[in-house]
Amino acid sequence: MKRFQLIGGLALFGAVLLLLVGVVSAAKSPPPPEPLAPVEALGKAIFFDENLSLNRNQSCATCHAPEAGWVGAKNIFNEAGSVYEGSIAGAFGDRKPPSAAYATTSPIFHYDEKAGLWVGGNFWDGRATGNRLGNPAADQAQGPFLNPVEQALSDSACVVYRVCMADYPVDMTEVYPGACNITWPAGTDTACGVEGSVIGLSPGDRATSNMAYDSIALAIAAYEDSREANAYSSKFDAVYDKQAKMTKLEKKGYNIFRGKGKCSLCHLDKGADPLFTDYTFDNLGIPKNPENPVYQGNPDFVDPGLGGFLMNSGYDEEIYEAEWGKHKVPTLRNVALAPDGVVKAYGHNGYFKSLYGIVHFYNTRDILPECPGDYTEAEALAANCWPAPEVMENMNTAELGNLRLTYAEEMALVAFLEMLDDGYLP
């Protein structure tokens, strides 16, 4: 009896203690993130699955690592060409990965008659329009698996096959019943590991597989749209919610961002949960990145950006030429976020290796002398010059190029940009 009382008392004491600890820690840390919905959890498993590449060595996260703000986290690439190697060794694209977070918020690619501007889509040139699956990020998600310089699978049925065979916390058929009702020919497994193979499916199975491939893209987009990717948990958001205060330096940077720096003309900052982009396209006159691997095979390469996409879509010359060299305004959320020691690259070609570098470029592009060659960012900063723009046409000279900011003001802007990383704890 006594013993029972003692144990009972101890248990009660323990329970009270646990409750107290619970209350105290609940007051200190933010509420636990909402659990992912089944479709988001499926999308997450797919996003991180390296098996979904030719050599089972690359996932979406290889080039879009959450801890680096959903871009690549490998210095070997970021410090140089900034273009990531695909599943096949030695295969490279020609652009730097942008953030895969906050990509779902982009409107469907369209021409805004009133503003006279192209708006929206995914990719630096907007070519994942969203017209197919209703969201640019879903259209986008069908690209990398089959891109020979990315995950390099040669048949969408191979993506479906590997997703259907996978052992995920949430299986494909839990979310999309019937998606895996496909009779796979013998040897599918081996064939999917071979470059260029096409899986011979009956017309019915091919139709099911195509539908499943759409579902896979929609699941990825659902994950990219979840609170885990689009977290809105930066210090900037906490300040908006009156949970934190800006330091003097951050406040100064914010004022420059909205004022003298003209940044918010394109990187919109208004209201709750701003995305720091207006989804339009501009040519900032960023120099070519001389370390871009594309020049090894194609020394004359020039990135046409939006103009190239419009040209390939059959628009008239006068229309696409007016957009030559323009790239989508990226979100600035998570722009500074990186694990210790990881260098980040900025701009469509990763020319800049520091926030200071790109801010200094906005500030001084039109007043420093032209470098005598294709200098890297470090060389240009050391020589106090900027190389010629990669594309001269359509360069924006109205909103940037000579901002007359002091060094202290540039550093304040950098401090402000560093407030935009998710994961801030008040």
Which positions lie near ligand HEC, rule CB under 6 A?
Answer: 47, 58, 60, 62-64, 84, 86, 93, 95, 97-98, 100, 103, 122-125, 137, 140-141, 144-145, 150-151, 220, 261-263, 265-267, 282, 284, 286, 327, 329-330, 332, 335, 346-348, 355, 358-359, 362, 396, 399-400, 413
- Measured from the CB atom, the residue of 17 and 215 that comes closer to ligand HEC is 215
User: How far apart (Å, rounded) are the C-alpha atoms in residues 257 and 412?
Assistant: 9
- Measured from the CB atom, the residue of 208 and 360 that comes closer to ligand HEC is 360
Q: Which of 5, 222, 264, 231 is nearest to 104 (CA)?
A: 222
Torsion, CA 316, CA 320, CA 321, CA 322, rounded to 10 = 120
Least distance between ligand HEC and beta carbon 73 (Å): 12
- Measured from the CB atom, the residue of 13 and 417 that comes closer to ligand HEC is 417
Least distance between ligand HEC and beta carbon 4 (Å): 58
- Measured from the CB atom, the residue of 8 and 338 that comes closer to ligand HEC is 338
187: left (phi over 0), alpha (psi -120 to 50) or beta: left
Residue 343 neighbours by CB distance under 10 Å: 16
Least distance between ligand HEC and beta carbon 137 (Å): 5
Q: Which of 383, 389, 385 is nearest to 348 (CA)?
A: 389
- Measured from the CB atom, the residue of 73 and 286 that comes closer to ligand HEC is 286
Residue 340 neighbours by CB distance under 10 Å: 4
Instruction: Output the six-digit token pair for 176.
Output: 């999309």
Least distance between ligand HEC and beta carbon 86 (Å): 5
Integer angstrom CA distances of residue 373 from 92, 129, 154, 290, 391: 24, 37, 40, 10, 15
Least distance between ligand HEC and beta carbon 205 (Å): 23
Instruction: Output the six-digit token pair for 411.
Output: 């550093």
- Measured from the CB atom, the residue of 64 and 162 that comes closer to ligand HEC is 64
Instruction: Output the six-digit token pair for 167.
Output: 């052992």
Least distance between ligand HEC and beta carbon 83 (Å): 7
- Measured from the CB atom, the residue of 5 and 153 that comes closer to ligand HEC is 153
Q: HSE-up of 217 (CA within 13 Å, CB side)? A: 24
- Measured from the CB atom, the residue of 183 and 394 that comes closer to ligand HEC is 394
Cβ neighbours of residue 364 closer than 8 Å, sequence gap 6 or more: 386, 402
CB of 121 closer than 8 Å to CB of 127: yes
Integer angstrom CA distances of residue 294 from 77, 93, 127, 232, 301: 13, 7, 20, 35, 7
User: How far apart (Å, rounded) are the C-alpha atoms in residues 136 and 102?
Assistant: 11
| Phi and psi at residue 35, to the nearest 5° | -65, 150
CB of 378 closer than 8 Å to CB of 353: yes
Least distance between ligand HEC and beta carbon 130 (Å): 11
User: How far apart (Å, rounded) are the C-alpha atoms in residues 233 and 315?
Assistant: 41
CB of 77 closer than 8 Å to CB of 70: no
Least distance between ligand HEC and beta carbon 292 (Å): 11
- Measured from the CB atom, the residue of 265 and 411 that comes closer to ligand HEC is 265
- Measured from the CB atom, the residue of 205 and 282 that comes closer to ligand HEC is 282
Least distance between ligand HEC and beta carbon 30 (Å): 26
Least distance between ligand HEC and beta carbon 157 (Å): 16
- Measured from the CB atom, the residue of 67 and 241 that comes closer to ligand HEC is 67
Least distance between ligand HEC and beta carbon 347 (Å): 4
Instruction: Output the six-digit token pair for 140.
Output: 């986008």
